[in-house]
């Protein structure tokens, strides 16, 4: 959602056996242009472009984004899927779902990301998406303050759906960076997995070197990252729905906030840090490194296509090796 994985990353992921999403975020004023760029890439690479539908998706941060702009972009460049996240109220997604489906005659599939069993049931019964993304507590960036990891959240949603006769596929997100995490998620009952933090260290990511270097440097993700609202307030972003916080690497902004620095002083220091470029990141820096707890599993920048292929390959290897331990 942070405009780090854009046209090139999304198309590369889809070209390599995954399904890539362009970050729409909340400011959609450039979305039509970004999708136009993706369309050019899809054509120039000779990728499937059936019925004029781009083989990628768009992610929306719904609380701050404008449905009219979304519709204009998607009408001009129909995409195979949209991903909704963090509306002010879940019921707002009814309109988004209905209007986007109408705009492409139902050819755009609707994915909705949720963080609790109650949210999963609510969207399944109201917006009726094609896919539900189950976001667990290990995820980077924004998510619910109160939540479980996918370890318990995903099976509980699967059981509840099964009991209620709901047959919407579940995609696991939050803490998956390699084939081990993906194999775990599939064992928990997921139909697929979504990787976010891992692509911060992809060659196609549009990301400051200071940020990407932090992703490679940081280890022990459970203690080195914090889930907090501080990284919103230092940037004077106040629009997130109450229930959300954001996970990022603990840095000077966070520590100063914890030790009582005023919001306005922290914001001023953040603005100063922005002028330092890549040097504004780091343990004593103030620029935000949103990332999940899996950050310590990432050691190199790779092409996005290679990330997809290696995760898929490793997932199968891990499952076969683990199952083989119990072969008769």
Q: Which residues in this chain contact a second copy in the complex, by CB under 8 A?
A: 115-118, 136-138, 144, 146-153, 155-156, 159-160, 174-178, 180-181, 183-189, 219-223, 226, 292-294, 296-297, 315-316, 318-320, 322-323, 325-326
23: closest CA among 75, 79, 76?
79
Q: Are 281 and 211 in contact (CB under 8 A)?
A: yes
Kindly report the backbone phi and psi dihedral angles of residue 115, in degrees, each rounded to the nearest multiple of 5, phi listed first: -130, 0
Q: Kindly list the strands in the beta sheet with 244-249, ordered across the sheet, starting from the edge strand earlier in the chain.
A: 141-144, 244-249, 225-228
Shortest Å, Cβ 12 to a second copy: 23
Shortest Å, Cβ 254 to a second copy: 12
Location of structure tokens 């966070």 = 254
Q: Which is nearer to a second copy, 264 or 320 (CB)?
A: 320
Q: Which is nearer to a second copy, 88 or 322 (CB)?
A: 322
Q: Are 22 and 6 in contact (CB under 8 A)?
A: yes
Residue 276 Cα distances to 151, 208, 279, angstroms: 40, 12, 5
* The two three-digit tokens of residue 39, written as one number: 């369309």
Location of structure tokens 């303050």 = 145
Shortest Å, Cβ 185 to a second copy: 7
Beta-carbon contacts of residue 159 (< 8 Å; ≥ 6 apart): none
Shortest Å, Cβ 299 to a second copy: 9
Q: Which is nearer to a second copy, 55 or 296 (CB)?
A: 296
CA 72 to CA 74: how far, in whole Å? 6
Q: Which is nearer to a second copy, 47 or 148 (CB)?
A: 148
Shortest Å, Cβ 263 to a second copy: 22
Shortest Å, Cβ 46 to a second copy: 28
Q: Which is nearer to a second copy, 146 or 262 (CB)?
A: 146
Q: Which is nearer to a second copy, 77 or 147 (CB)?
A: 147
Residue 312, number of CB atoms within 10 A of its CB: 16
Location of structure tokens 């997130």 = 240
289: closest CA among 212, 234, 205?
212
Shortest Å, Cβ 126 to a second copy: 18
- Decide: helix, strand or coil at residue 82: strand
Q: Which is nearer to a second copy, 14 or 228 (CB)?
A: 228
């Amino acid at each position: 959602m942070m405009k780090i994985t854009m046209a090139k990353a999304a198309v590369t992921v889809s070209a390599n056996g995954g399904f890539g999403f362009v970050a729409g975020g909340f400011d959609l004023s450039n979305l039509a242009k970004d999708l136009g760029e993706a369309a050019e890439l899809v054509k120039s690479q000779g990728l499937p472009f059936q019925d004029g539908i781009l083989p990628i998706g768009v992610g929306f941060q719904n609380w701050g984004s404008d449905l009219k702009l979304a519709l204009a972009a998607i009408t001009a460049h129909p995409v195979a899927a949209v991903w909704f996240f963090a509306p002010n109220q879940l019921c707002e997604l009814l309109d988004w779902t209905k209007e986007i489906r109408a705009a492409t005659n139902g050819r755009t599939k609707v994915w909705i990301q949720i963080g609790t069993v109650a949210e999963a049931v609510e969207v399944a019964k109201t917006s009726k998406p094609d896919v539900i993304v189950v976001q667990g507590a290990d995820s980077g960036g924004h998510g619910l303050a109160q939540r479980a990891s996918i370890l318990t959240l995903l099976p509980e949603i699967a059981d509840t759906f099964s009991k209620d006769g709901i047959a919407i596929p579940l995609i696991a997100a939050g803490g998956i960076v390699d084939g081990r995490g993906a194999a775990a998620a599939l064992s928990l009952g997921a139909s697929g997995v979504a990787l976010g933090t891992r692509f911060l260290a992809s060659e196609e990511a549009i990301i400051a070197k200071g940020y990407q270097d932090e992703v490679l440097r940081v280890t022990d993700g459970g203690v080195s990252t914090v889930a907090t609202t501080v990284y919103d307030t230092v940037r004077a972003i106040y629009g997130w729905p109450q229930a959300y916080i954001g996970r990022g690497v603990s840095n000077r902004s966070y520590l100063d906030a914890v030790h009582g620095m005023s919001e306005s002083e922290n914001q001023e220091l953040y603005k100063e840090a922005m002028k330092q470029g890549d040097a504004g990141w780091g343990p004593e820096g103030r620029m935000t490194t949103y990332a999940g707890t899996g950050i310590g599993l990432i050691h190199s920048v790779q092409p996005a296509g290679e990330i997809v292929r290696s995760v898929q390959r490793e997932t199968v290897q891990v499952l076969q090796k683990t199952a083989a331990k119990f072969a008769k």
